[in-house]
Amino acid sequence: MKNIIKYKAMVLSCMDPRFQKPVHDYLKKQKLSGKYSSFTIAGAAIGVAHPKFKKWHSVFLDNLSTSIKLHKIKKLIVINHMDCAAAKMTKKKPLQNIDEIDIHKSCFRKLNKIMKKKFPYLKMEFNIFFLNKKIKKVKL
Ligand SMILES: [Zn+2]
């Protein structure tokens, strides 16, 4: 098979319908159109790292591993978003914005730890989309 396209990354994002277009537009702006594989699951990093969704974790890791083999990607771009139903499912009480950011960040840290162990050569990028459609990079 001829493979002249250089794939750059896998994008891990949430299934929330409100964020499909913003995520797509953001990646286009980054000149990544056609250059990334995509894994979309409830909660993005929350779905693949929070204990509440344990059953989903290995499905993600298997898909990531497959994309690394098939597409030779070098990076995982994680895009979580605010007002995420999966974030709410991790808590019984209603969330204030600040609490929700803590949930995203703690899942980013968990995921980063898993990645360092399983795929240490993979670059990581963590982002949160806000409801005003602004995206913010998160440094761990
Ligand atoms: Zn969500």
How much distance in Å is there from the Cα of 117 to the middle of ligand 1?
26
pLDDT digits 0-9 by tens, 8-35 = 999 999 999 999 999 999 999 999 999 9
Gap from CA of 25 to ligand 1 centroid (Å) = 17
Distance 124 CA to ligand 1 centre (A): 20
Q: Indicate the domain borders of the chain.
A: 9-28+35-132
How far, in Å, is the centroid of ligand 1 from the Cα of 88? 9
Cα 137 to averaged position of ligand 1 atoms, centre (Å): 17
Measured in angstroms, how far is the CA atom of residue 80 from the centroid of ligand 1?
Answer: 7
This prediction's pTM? 0.94
Query: How much distance in Å is there from the Cα of 133 to the middle of ligand 1?
Result: 14
User: How far away, in angstroms, is 2 Cα from ligand 1 center?
Assistant: 36
- How much is the pLDDT for 4? 65
Q: Which residues of the chain have pLDDT under 50?
A: none
Angle (nearest 5°) at CA 17 between 52 and 54 = 15
Return the pLDDT at 3.
Answer: 53
- So what's the architecture of 9-28+35-132 in CATH? 3-Layer(aba) Sandwich (3.40)
